Amino acid sequence: MIEPGGYIKDILGKSGGVSASAHGWVKTRRDSKGVSFLQLNDGSSFADLQIVIEAGSIEEELLKHVTTGACVRVDGDLVDSPGGGQTVELKAKEIYLFGEADPTTYPLQKKGHTMEFLRDIAHLRTRSNTFGSVFRVRNALARAIHNFFQRNGFLYVHTPIITASDAEGAGAMFGVTTLDLQNVPRVKEGDKKGHTDYSEDFFGKPAFLTVSGQLEAEIFALSFSNVYTFGPTFRAENSNTPRHLAEFWMIEPEMAFCDLAGNMALAEKFLKSVIAEVMDTCAPDLEFFNKRIDDTVLSTLDHVVNSDFVHITYTEAVQILEKSGQTWEFPVGWGIDLQSEHERYLTEQTFKKPVIVTDYPKEIKAFYMRSNEDGKTVRAMDVLAPRIGEIIGGSQREERHDVLVEKIVGQGLQLDAYWWYLELRKYGSAPHAGFGLGFERLMLYLTGMKNIRDVIPFPRTPGSAEF
Ligand code: ATP
Ligand code: MN
């Protein structure tokens, strides 16, 4: 029987004088006179286990195949290590070769590959130091997020991935269909004549991959008070930026009995909590990022955990940008949507810490955000972070039935598509608020990685879905 467990992480926590058995992939091999050293890693920790093979202890023919990339099990004696860099090492008595890796073709034979090259070998990049750390941090971040919400009494709700109402702005949505694209059924008569006949499709109407679980999360908030989603979302926007993916993960808390101020307070508490937890559980990985990827990672994270976020209104933000004397690619004026260059200026130049911008013009924000008394702005908030720009977008929701009807109609949307959303305002409505956090945006922040394609296992971007 081969059981899971026996991680290198646990072996490294022991002291010498016991026998041990480790499996993993050979990261490097170094031969010197009379002895060979392997760095063995099984993904359980940043640190490798050093294997010492004394000449004659392992059959030569077998040892020839134990090269970088090979998968082995090593049985031997754990001894206190005389060399620096590790406390124990494993003196090999027996080696089982599970899978060799031909050194003449193994792509990770040498170090120092570009991120672009590694992206093309997403089936192997997970064995590199960088991606080992990325995905351990990703795991720790997911756990920290669940921990935060569970500790605070939030219910985890699984909102649907396929949505049949095109309620959220169909422009950027992927269609889901079982219709034969070579032979699409057409409507035979009436004013829709010639259009695709979706009554023959799987759901009897057009269906899409979700862009957000918010509207469904609101249903749950208005029964369970505090809830959150954590799932994949999809956007067919053709934006080839280092911050956008076509498939990404989103965390969306939704709180009944909560207003914009409460929403801001939760967002700040949440970010500080999850960052602190990852710093606590993944210290060696974060140190690696700080050393090899971006030497401001640790100081920035420390700063975020220990500083109060700045609160400004959109109107104040525009004034700061107008007075900045900067030349912008996208000119600034009241009413514009803040672009990444503006967001980064506010967080990196003006305040040098995370900034929450609130009360945006209603024209540039979604219909469901609560209207302010001025008639011009809505209770929206964006949390902006140095280096990344927008990391969270949220709002207090419009809970007044009649106002919401006006807003839907005013934005030229179809009232009947929102029938259930409106009924929530008819039966037991409550003030409520929530936000959406892009999981991979927060990953960029934690790791200092430059491209969002390098913090998700298998990135989906325009023209690319190989793995
Ligand atoms: P942006 O202006 O950066 O495109 P957005 O206004 O479209 O963001 P929202 O609709 O508010 O974003 O989505 C909530 C959060 O999801 C954002 O704050 C961001 O963290 C993340 N996000 C949005 N689009 C993407 C994407 N294509 N890839 C990865 N994360 C995204
Ligand atoms: Mn967007």
What CATH number is associated with residue 269? 3.30.930.10
Ligand 1 atom 26 nearest Cα: 244
Residue 208, ligand 1, Cβ within 6 A: no
pLDDT number for residue 170: 42
Question: Would residue 116 count as lying in a domain?
Answer: no
Residue 438, ligand 1, Cβ within 6 A: yes
Question: Would residue 199 count as lying in a domain?
Answer: no
Can you give the C-alpha Rg of the chain in angstroms?
27
Same domain, 17 and 68: yes
Same domain, 426 and 328: yes
Which ligand 1 atom sits closest to the C-alpha of 337?
2
Question: Would residue 204 count as lying in a domain?
Answer: no
Q: Which domain holds residue 389?
A: 129-159+219-234+242-454
Question: Would residue 214 count as lying in a domain?
Answer: no
Same domain, 287 and 366: yes
Same domain, 359 and 397: yes
Please tell me the distance between residue 355's alpha carbon and the centre of ligand 1 in angstroms: 16
pLDDT number for residue 2: 66
Closest CA to 262 of 371, 351, 356: 356
Same domain, 257 and 349: yes
Residue 453, ligand 1, Cβ within 6 A: no
Number of domains in the chain: 2
Question: Would residue 137 count as lying in a domain?
Answer: yes
Angstrom distance (rounded) from CA 124 to CA 142: 23
Question: Would residue 338 count as lying in a domain?
Answer: yes
Best residue for ligand 1 mutational test, from 441, 452, 461 (most atoms within 8 Å of Cβ): 441
Same domain, 292 and 441: yes
Give the residue from 51, 79, 99 where a domain finishes: 99
Question: Would residue 203 count as lying in a domain?
Answer: no
Listing from the earlier edge strand, what are the strands of the sheet with 175-176? 162-163, 207-209, 175-176
Question: Would residue 148 count as lying in a domain?
Answer: yes
Which ligand 1 atom sits closest to the C-alpha of 392?
18
Best residue for ligand 1 mutational test, from 382, 390, 445 (most atoms within 8 Å of Cβ): 390
Kindly report the number of other CB atoms within 10 A of residue 318's CB atom: 20
Residue 74, ligand 1, Cβ within 6 A: no
Best residue for ligand 1 mutational test, from 210, 244, 339 (most atoms within 8 Å of Cβ): 244
Closest CA to 60 of 98, 27, 31: 31
Same domain, 229 and 86: no
Count Cα neighbours of 310 within 13 Å in the Cβ-side half-sphere.
20
pLDDT number for residue 238: 78
Residues of the chain with pLDDT under 70: 1-2, 165-171
pLDDT number for residue 139: 98
Which ligand 1 atom sits closest to the C-alpha of 391?
20
Please tell me the distance between residue 443's alpha carbon and the centre of ligand 1 in angstroms: 13
What CATH number is associated with residue 22? 2.40.50.140
Same domain, 85 and 136: no
Which ligand 1 atom sits closest to the C-alpha of 211?
10
Same domain, 302 and 399: yes
Same domain, 299 and 405: yes
Please tell me the distance between residue 339's alpha carbon and the centre of ligand 1 in angstroms: 12
Same domain, 135 and 86: no
Please tell me the distance between residue 41's alpha carbon and the centre of ligand 1 in angstroms: 35
Same domain, 223 and 79: no
Residue 460, ligand 1, Cβ within 6 A: no
Ligand 1 atom 9 nearest Cα: 393
